[in-house]
Amino acid sequence: MSERYDYVVVGAGTAGCVLAARLSEAPDVRVLLVEAGGREPLPESKVPSAWPQLQGSSMDWADQALPFAGTGSTMTWPGGRGLGGSSMINATSFLRGHRSSYDAWAAGGAEGWGFDDLLPFFRRSEAFVGRDPRLRGTEGPLTPAPVATPHPLSRAALAAAEELGYPVVSDPNNGVEEGFGYCDLNIVGQQRQSAVHAYLGPALTRPNLTVITDSVVEHLLLEDDRCTGVRYRPSEAHVATEPPGRSESDGTRRVYAEREVVLAAGALGSPALLLSSGIGPAKQLQVAGVPTLHDRPGVGANLHDHPMSGVVYRSARPVPPAAPDSNGGGEIKGLLRALPDSTMPDLQMFTAITPMVSRTLPGPDRGAGYNIMIALMLPRSRGSVRLAPAHTGSSGRRSLLIEAGYYQERRDLDVMAAGLDTAREFGASPAFDEWRREQVQPRPGTLDRREIHDYLRRSLATYFHYAGTCRMGTDAMAVVDLALRVRGVSGLRVVDASVMPAPVSANTNATVYAIAERAAELISRPVDAVAVSTDQYSPE
């Protein structure tokens, strides 16, 4: 097996699958894709509604965030491990954020990354029939669609939106509308359509693409200010084979990139690898026992997620299971402005057919209740990712210290409190009369501000939308430039959710596909600056 490639891509999640497939389209380019997880997925990953069963499995990194300051409780942060990454274990929702959240990237310094700039790459990833072709793609690898048989609770949620005067839109996924509608799901033929199925799988027969799994990249190889390759550790799965690269005495192997190393290991994995290689805040690296090679203070900072909560109801009759072509709820998504002074859509609402309650809060069993969920789309609070001092976890990756940072900014609690009021209004609407037996959480009746904030902290859940830890930009805290190149180190890029400078007002997977599609073009067609797209959407 070769030890030299044109491109070495680290991480075979959504972004890594797109990059491997797109870069290897050029037959004279040699691409190596290295993945820490396994090649064969668990059977449950094919079943869209079985995604909760994959949390804590061999396909999940199952990272632990540090105790939350509001309650002192810890929280598991699921993240995909294996070919396809989180696209193999998530709940299959495929939504763009509202255009305002991408335009905020450009306004904040990421010029050339506004909605109109990303639109061609959103369209490149997808194929739709009967949608506005100015906004939706027609020839891409992904073929998401709304559920064919909506759950009755989803129909009730849409009816409630109409009763309460909220806009009902035919395509809530196009990025230019606010309101409620059936969201697209990555489900084809009642099975999950992941990044492996849409991108990597069709490319695996190419002789210029090499994919190795069960191999943890431990270190970036650096010569002065250039990244030349990676050092990785094959697992016992490779005992009977000869994986790529030069063998070292400690059991690791080295592979070299003639052109670039591209990190696509996610919002936790990519900063972790930079930090482990001595690229990051000097003071933090010193505490972690890692020599500083490049002092980059922004690595691991700016962590953000979409925190969730909701109103829990005990149902008046049994809640039926999800249809085979559904992810088990969340078929209807609503994007709205929570407060009178909200300048952009900042709250998402949906109905969950399985009661989602915190370990510290009682609630009905499966089939006996449901939730009206709220998620904060544009949190102002930020957390961080750091290396734990000199310890490697059971996964083979250096142990992480994850500060989630939820609700550090008062505005975030205010938005969620307003969202909780809206969720209770939905739950009490006539559309839910046939389903509602009683409200379980929070307690019925009037709640004062202290009780509301306490409930929001105790019922807090992650939406698994970690991002921002290697953000793009031009200021001193930016980790990558506007072409996603690591600042101060040549031959090295980051392409995944970690480059997002600020939250997007939707589930993040569709945006990662678009970022990776654009990155593949930036890599294969080098430019000195990111050009603003001329393929813009203008409403009639």
Task: Identify the H or E element spanning 416.
Answer: helix 410-427
Token digits for 381? 């609070």
The DSSP call for residue 410 is: H
d(CA 523, CA 484): 9
H runs (alpha helix) in 204-353: 266-276, 282-288
According to DSSP, the β-strands at 31-34 and 4-10 are: parallel
Task: Identify the H or E element spanning 185.
Answer: strand 184-185
d(CA 518, CA 522): 6
Cis amide leading into 144 (omega within 30): no
Token digits for 399? 């142990």
Quickly tell me which residue has 């004279």 as its tokens.
28
d(CA 245, CA 260): 16
Specify whether the backbone of 438 is left (phi greater than 0), alpha (psi in -120 to 50) or beta.
beta
Q: Would you call 304 a catalytic residue per the annotation?
A: no
In the set 197, 294, 306, 465, the catalytic residue is 465
Buried b (16+ CB within 10 A) or exposed e, 217-239: bbbbbbeeeebbbbbbbbeeeee
H runs (alpha helix) in 131-279: 152-163, 195, 201-203, 266-276
Give me the residues paired with residue 472 across strands: 480
Among all residues, which ones are annotated catalytic? 465
